């Protein structure tokens, strides 16, 4: 029977800590014991009081974020596996975390079963790998199994000739290897020839597209370029200065000529610090993460440009309306209603620009009465000839303005596309989620459209920009909720799922 895995889960959201603990206890069959902690500054105290096998931490937290926590753990030589478990769209954070020595990075999602299933699997694999690493010191045979079967590219290297070269330089009074190599650049190539690659595992052959170990060694010179050579110099300096670990991003090339981005970590095997004759190098391919990061950055820039373009034109229109309203105010008493709407539109524009420039600017800072919110939106959107009813709804912690925009968009979508006779809001309460159903009896949505209805820019009308429902989904997901749509011959209903912990 395997030993129970003790997990320290650090997140500043108590509701998510509770959800994680409950869900993991249901699916982990007592193999994991999750200890929730909402204060990241308390981690080191917890580590003193109890033995943990792994830390699962959020990224963005008050006091000390996930990367700062990871950095402090490594600075204090606390060798515990760390998994970053945070929101989507943070590929740059993933790369930084891996650079700091994180063992894995998982994106949170609204697919609860999938995300916690992945978390359980990764925790088990990371802890298993860590326990196997400890066994490496005790048994060379066990080490060889780990090396050969590791899912990470591993290289066993011998730097003993390099170490002897270092010792010779030190006897000559050389204490600054960086300066020495700057003055004698040809020595870097000489030192690279002294490194003996003892072995690589199967994952390495697969990564570099080598059919066998012979083809790998024959193509070794083609794996690296001038940039990699410069980084190798930094690796040499670290070893010269007595460090036993070194990590950096390295560019490389497969045998096919395809460029890859990697995080390379060098570790001197315990007991070989004086000779450097056994060093393990791990290589993690982060090419896809880099590509996704670049794509997301480009999309964000395009969204920001679009938002600013629209905002510029709308602001000009609002300025003109505001000017004419002031003129009308000299003759009429009710123009304050127009002014109030102008201020609301300006506020909405400002929030939308914040959304475009800095990601989803959602502030879950108010307990909002959904009855009042929905009635206010319905009164301004739904015509009197269409029946509107709603169940008694709860009070929810949310961003009031943005949630009002959600219901506004959903009502408008029903009116424009469904042409219903009635619209209803229903509430269903479950153990884990509250479900808000927005139902209309209008024209049904075909299945092929249901699949694409939340996609950015998707529309069935030429004059529409196709932004309404994509904005709905973004706002819902930014709250940590999720939304679905179903439609049949009798009705169409959108379902918003909200964790029960967020109801007051």
Write the CATH number for 49: 3.40.50.2300
**303 and 376 fall within a common domain:** no
**370 and 471 fall within a common domain:** yes
Secondary structure of residue 501 in the 3-state scheme: helix
Total count of domains within the chain: 4
Buried b (16+ CB within 10 A) or exposed e, 146-159: bbeebeebbbbbbb
Token output for 6: 């003790």
Q: Is the dihedral of CA 186, 188, 189, 191 positive or negative?
A: positive
Please state, in angstroms and rounded to a whole number, the distance separating the CA atoms of residues 394 and 390. Answer: 12
**123 and 218 fall within a common domain:** no
What's the pTM? 0.43
**272 and 153 fall within a common domain:** yes
The closest alpha carbon to 300, from 364, 351, 353, belongs to 353
Q: What is the pLDDT along the chain (504 residues), one digit of tens a residue?
A: 458 899 999 999 999 999 999 888 888 778 899 999 999 999 999 999 999 999 999 988 888 988 999 999 988 988 899 999 887 556 777 888 888 888 888 888 878 888 898 999 999 999 988 887 776 666 666 667 778 888 889 999 999 999 999 999 999 999 999 999 999 989 998 999 999 999 999 999 999 999 998 998 888 877 777 778 888 999 999 999 999 999 888 888 888 889 899 899 999 988 899 999 999 999 999 988 888 877 776 776 666 666 666 666 677 666 767 776 676 766 666 556 666 666 766 766 665 664 554 444 567 778 899 999 999 999 988 999 999 999 999 999 988 888 998 999 899 889 988 899 999 999 999 888 899 999 999 999 988 888 888 876 666 665 454 567 877 888 888 888 999 999 988 899 999 999 887 766
**143 and 182 fall within a common domain:** yes
DSSP state at residue 269: P
**281 and 304 fall within a common domain:** no
Q: CB of 57 within 8 A of CB of 29? A: no
Q: What is the pLDDT of residue 289?
A: 86
Q: Is the dihedral of CA 239, 241, 247, 251 positive or negative?
A: negative
Q: What is the DSSP string of 282-324?
A: EEEE-HHHHHHHHHHHHHHHHHHHHHHHHHHHHHHHHHHHHHH
**202 and 327 fall within a common domain:** no
Domain boundary among 301, 327, 361: 361
**45 and 12 fall within a common domain:** yes
Q: CB of 148 within 8 A of CB of 26? A: no
Please state, in angstroms and rounded to a whole number, the distance separating the CA atoms of residues 270 and 278. Answer: 9
Domain boundary among 135, 160, 184: 135
**251 and 172 fall within a common domain:** yes
Nearest-10 Cα torsion for 82, 84, 85, 88: -170
Residue 294 domain boundaries: 287-361
Q: What is the pLDDT of residue 101?
A: 84
Domain boundary among 309, 330, 361: 361
Please state, in angstroms and rounded to a whole number, the distance separating the CA atoms of residues 55 and 85. Answer: 10
**189 and 104 fall within a common domain:** no
Q: What is the pLDDT of residue 359?
A: 44
Q: CB of 459 within 8 A of CB of 466? A: yes
**198 and 261 fall within a common domain:** yes
Residue 102's Cβ-count burial label (10 Å; 0-12, 13-18, 19+) is: buried
Please state, in angstroms and rounded to a whole number, the distance separating the CA atoms of residues 452 and 448. Answer: 7
Q: What is the CATH number of the domain that holds 404?
A: 3.30.565.10
Please state, in angstroms and rounded to a whole number, the distance separating the CA atoms of residues 386 and 95. Answer: 52
**477 and 340 fall within a common domain:** no
Q: What is the pLDDT of residue 333?
A: 60
Count other C-beta atoms under 10 Å from residue 44's C-beta: 14
Give, for 23, the enclosing helix (H) or strand (E): helix 14-27
Count other C-beta atoms under 10 Å from residue 89's C-beta: 15
Q: What is the pLDDT of residue 358?
A: 41
Please state, in angstroms and rounded to a whole number, the distance separating the CA atoms of residues 159 and 162. Answer: 5
Q: What is the pLDDT of residue 226?
A: 77
């Amino acid at each position: 029977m395997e030993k129970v895995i003790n997990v320290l889960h650090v997140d500043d959201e108590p509701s998510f800590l509770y959800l994680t603990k409950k869900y993991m206890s249901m699916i982990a069959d007592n193999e994991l014991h999750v200890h929730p902690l909402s204060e990241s500054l308390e981690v080191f105290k917890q580590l003193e009081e109890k033995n943990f096998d792994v830390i699962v931490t959020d990224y963005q937290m008050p006091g000390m974020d996930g990367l700062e926590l990871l950095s402090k753990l490594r600075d204090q030589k606390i060798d515990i596996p760390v998994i970053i478990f945070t929101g989507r769209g943070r590929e740059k954070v993933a790369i930084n975390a891996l650079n700091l020595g994180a063992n894995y990075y998982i994106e949170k999602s609204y697919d609860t079963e999938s995300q916690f299933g992945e978390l359980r699997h990764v925790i088990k694999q990371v802890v298993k790998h860590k326990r196997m690493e400890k066994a490496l010191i005790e048994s060379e045979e066990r080490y060889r199994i780990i090396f050969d079967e590791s899912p990470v590219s591993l290289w066993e290297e011998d730097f003993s000739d390099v170490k002897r070269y270092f010792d010779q330089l030190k006897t000559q009074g050389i204490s600054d290897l960086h300066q020495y190599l700057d003055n004698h650049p040809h020595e870097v190539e000489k030192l690279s020839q002294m490194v003996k690659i003892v072995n690589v595992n199967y994952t390495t052959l697969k990564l570099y597209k080598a059919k066998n170990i012979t083809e790998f060694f024959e193509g070794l010179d083609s794996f690296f370029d001038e940039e990699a050579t410069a980084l190798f110099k930094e690796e040499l300096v670290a070893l010269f200065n007595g460090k036993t670990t070194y990590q950096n991003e390295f560019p490389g090339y497969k045998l096919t000529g395809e460029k890859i981005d990697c995080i390379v970590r060098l570790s001197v095997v315990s007991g070989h610090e004086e000779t450097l004759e056994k060093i393990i190098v791990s290589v993690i391919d982060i090419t896809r993460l880099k590509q996704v990061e670049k794509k997301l950055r480009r999309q964000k820039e395009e969204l920001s440009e679009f938002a600013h373009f629209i905002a510029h034109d709308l602001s000009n229109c609002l300025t003109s309306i505001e000017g004419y309203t002031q003129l009308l105010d000299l003759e009429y008493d009710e123009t304050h209603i127009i002014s109030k709407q102008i201020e609301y539109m300006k506020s909405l524009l400002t929030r939308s620009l914040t959304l475009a420039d800095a990601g989803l600017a959602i502030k879950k800072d108010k307990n909002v009465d959904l009855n009042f919110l929905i009635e206010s939106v319905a009164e301004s959107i739904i015509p009197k000839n269409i029946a509107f009813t709603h169940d008694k709804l709860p009070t929810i912690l949310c961003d009031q303005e943005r949630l009002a925009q959600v219901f506004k968009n959903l009502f408008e979508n029903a009116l424009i596309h469904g042409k219903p006779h009635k619209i209803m809001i229903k509430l269903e309460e479950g153990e884990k989620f509250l479900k808000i159903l927005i139902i209309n009896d209008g024209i049904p949505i075909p299945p092929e459209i249901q699949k694409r209805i939340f996609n950015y820019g998707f529309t069935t009308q030429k004059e529409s920009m196709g932004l309404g429902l994509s904005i709905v989904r973004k706002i819902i997901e930014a709250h940590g909720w999720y939304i679905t749509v179903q439609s049949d011959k009798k009705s169409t209903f959108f379902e918003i799922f909200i964790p029960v912990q967020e109801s007051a």
